[in-house]
Amino acid sequence: MTTTWLKNPLAIYTGTTHDAQGGVVVQGNKIVELVPLGAKPQTQIDQVTDASQHVITPGLINAHHHFYQTLTRAYPDALNKELFNWLKTLYPVWAGLDSEMMSLATEVALVEMLLSGCTTASDHHYLIPTGLENAIDLQVDVANKLGIRAILTRGSMSLGEDEGGLPPRHTIQTEQVIIDDSLRLIDQYHQREDGAMIQIALAPCSPFSVTTDLMKETARIAKQQQVMVHTHLCETIDEEDFCLKQFGLRPVDYLEDVGWLNNRTWLAHAIHFNDEEIARLGKANIGISHCPTSNMMLASGICRNNELEAAGVNVGLGVDGSASNDGSNMIAEVRMAMYLQRLRYGSANVSHTDALRWATSGSAKAMGRTDIGELSVGKQADIAMFKLDEIRFSGAHDPLAALLLCGAQQADKVMVAGQWRVSDGQVIGLDLERLLYKHRNAAKRLAEKASVLR
């Protein structure tokens, strides 16, 4: 195994208290040594990468996304709407997805992730119209091709609008189909060992799009198979009203009623909780994915990150879908999280290292991973390296703070499991121009299909 020293970084965030100002030593797919300032590695080195112009962080971890939505960024009919109306506008459009669209949308999302310093990306794919039953299989193929770590969730919708749900009937599946495919995907793709590149989780879309029976059965299967579960929860006040009307319960009470209030669960958004509910979530060791840009775009509210963390909740970070964020840029999302949380708590109570923690170890813990999210000995060699040579950084004094305060947009180098996947700001081996040409045509074709159906 080749041993590489990422030598003398300009600045480094390890996510730990260990001194690594002299750099990081990688052997195979793991970190084997952190080098203190001014020291040399004790390990024998085969290769040296000069990091003196780079800020190094653990690979960023995206805890919530919808890859297919890269095809509907800034979609005209969905502009200037809040969540429920936004969804009702886009569900019929997304129902036109086909296999080629799905593969291209996934590849663009994952490439955008890699370029922004992300090494592990989770996707919540819940919309599986007829003809797209192999959606998760397609995502596995794309993730493997790019060499990015992926936590792919088999989403579901089973409660149609004619039964009091939100999605139109032609976008839902029967519960037995959902259960059978969930078990197939776990058996076929889920890796359980440290360093797993592909994992499967189960992810009913939300309380307003699946039945109570499916929520309970998902919890049972997850416990039996020892996999994580994921859903949207408490994104808007409308959702709270829906749960009270449909189930006679507030969302957290409903979560407990269906067997989800445990450490196998991570939630997207998680905004509208009261103090008592936050305490219960912390006691259950729940994970959440804060999605700041999407929450601002849809005017959903501001997650209570500080109270959640203080209660014991594992707070991570996600870009959410590219139709509500309209981007998949993870380092930009870290900056957005810092600023939105400062709006809630004040500038002195949210630092750039808080935001980096949410985007690394926070996301890892939220999704049940202990092998990623830090730069420490024995962890996976997932590493992002950023240069500060653009005009936006000129005059910056603290390089690590500048990464967020001055608004980094792209990584220069990215390593996943000890393998370089981005070098000189380019995804290695990718014809980006060709991918974008095909992706734009797919987006156009999806919009045309939707207009014909209207």
Query: How many CB atoms neighbour CB 370 within 10 A?
Result: 11
Closest CA to 131 of 89, 102, 91: 102
Whether residue 161 is predicted with pLDDT greater than 80 in this model: the reply is no
Of 366, 392, 414, the position where a domain reaches its end is 366
Same domain, 30 and 69: no
Strands of 198-204's sheet, edge to edge? 60-62, 118-125, 149-156, 198-204, 229-233, 265-269, 287-290, 314-317
Tell me, yes or no, whether 435 lies in a domain.
Answer: no
Same domain, 320 and 257: yes
Range of the domain at 96: 60-366
Specify the pLDDT at position 450. Answer: 87
Specify the pLDDT at position 322. Answer: 84
Same domain, 53 and 147: no
Same domain, 153 and 295: yes
Same domain, 54 and 139: no
Same domain, 50 and 76: no
Specify the pLDDT at position 241. Answer: 87
Specify the pLDDT at position 240. Answer: 85
Tell me, yes or no, whether 123 lies in a domain.
Answer: yes
The model's pLDDT over 232-288, given as tens digits with 9 standing for 90+, comes to: 999 988 888 888 988 899 999 999 999 999 999 999 999 999 999 999 999 999 999
Same domain, 184 and 215: yes
Same domain, 320 and 396: no
SS3 303: coil
Say how far apart CA 318 and CA 269 lie, in whole Å.
Answer: 9
Locate 213 and state its tokens. 């029976």
CATH number at residue 313: 3.20.20.140
Query: How many CB atoms neighbour CB 423 within 10 A?
Result: 14
Global pTM value: 0.97
Same domain, 239 and 302: yes
Tell me, yes or no, whether 445 lies in a domain.
Answer: no
Domain count, the chain: 2
Same domain, 48 and 167: no
CATH number at residue 386: 2.30.40.10
Compute the radius of gyration of the chain from its Cα atoms.
21
Same domain, 43 and 75: no
Same domain, 120 and 96: yes
pLDDT band (50, 70, 90) for residue 164: low
